[in-house]
Amino acid sequence: AQSVTQLDSQVPVFEEAPVELRCNYSSSVSVYLFWYVQYPNQGLQLLLKYLSGSTLVKGINGFEAEFNKSQTSFHLRKPSVHISDTAEYFCAVSVGGSNYKLTFGKGTLLTVNP
Amino acid sequence: NAGVTQTPKFQVLKTGQSMTLQCAQDMNHEYMSWYRQDPGMGLRLIHYSVGAGITDQGEVPNGYNVSRSTTEDFPLRLLSAAPSQTSVYFCASRRRVRVPNEKLFFGSGTQLSVL
């Protein structure tokens, strides 16, 4: 079965600083990887996804993620964060043969301070 | 086009009571699912459905029942509520089942407290 580990439960940063949110996965078969964002008191929204091809994936709001198969990682990055990026971020994985059910990590709370 | 609609937004129950959380989508999505979100636990899949009349268990199905009589609706039933079921519940759907690149559309959640 697949699993997802988000290595940091909370990441505080200052506005305009770069940020990296870490995600590692485990699976014995090919996986499809996603990052979702949850703003306060809302449901989740898709930020970006990796299926195949280029290992660098660009998403909405200036975020990008890099798939590293050898390290089984899919870290999320943004070169300069804004106050409005304060949210909880979830890494998720799905595999074939399971109707592509999504398994989520435990989330990383990104807090951007002025 | 309303997307995924969940009702109610808030609910307080007493231990042992039963209730149904409603979920409806108007996008003709094949796949629908229920997650619960608990602090420090992320989202955990309760049940899911790949089409009308077809449901299956997720990661944490105990204490919950589902049915899918129509494409649009996927209610979640708590038969005898327990304090351990205090959580925020999200319904999510996507267009097709057997395609890996489909994004999930989430409802705005139901906050449930069981006393």
Distance from CA of A108 to the nearest CA of B (A): 9
* Cβ–Cβ below 8 Å for A100 and B99: yes
Minimal-distance CA residue of chain B relative to A49: B101
* Cβ–Cβ below 8 Å for B58 and A105: no
Model confidence pLDDT, tens digit, residues B100-111: 778 889 999 999
- DSSP assignment of A28-56: SS-EEEEEEEE-TTS-EEEEEEE-SS-SE
Distance from CA of A101 to the nearest CA of B (A): 8
pLDDT of residue A97: 62
Model confidence pLDDT, tens digit, residues A19-52: 999 999 987 777 889 999 999 888 899 999 987 7
Distance from CA of A43 to the nearest CA of B (A): 5
Chain B segment 84-103 residues within 8 A of A by beta carbon are 90, 92, 97-103
Average pLDDT over residues B17-41: 94
Chain B segment 1-20 residues within 8 A of A by beta carbon are 4
Average pLDDT, chain B: 93
Model confidence pLDDT, tens digit, residues A64-88: 999 998 899 999 999 999 999 999 9
Alpha helical stretches, state H, chain A: none
pLDDT of residue B69: 96
Q: Residues in chain A, how many?
A: 114
The answer to whether A105 and A4 have CB atoms below 8 angstroms apart is yes
Question: Whose CA is closest to A100, among A42, A56, A57, A49?
Answer: A49
Model confidence pLDDT, tens digit, residues B46-89: 999 999 999 999 999 999 999 999 999 999 999 999 999 999 99
Q: Report the run of H or E that residue A13 belongs to, with start and end.
A: strand A10-14
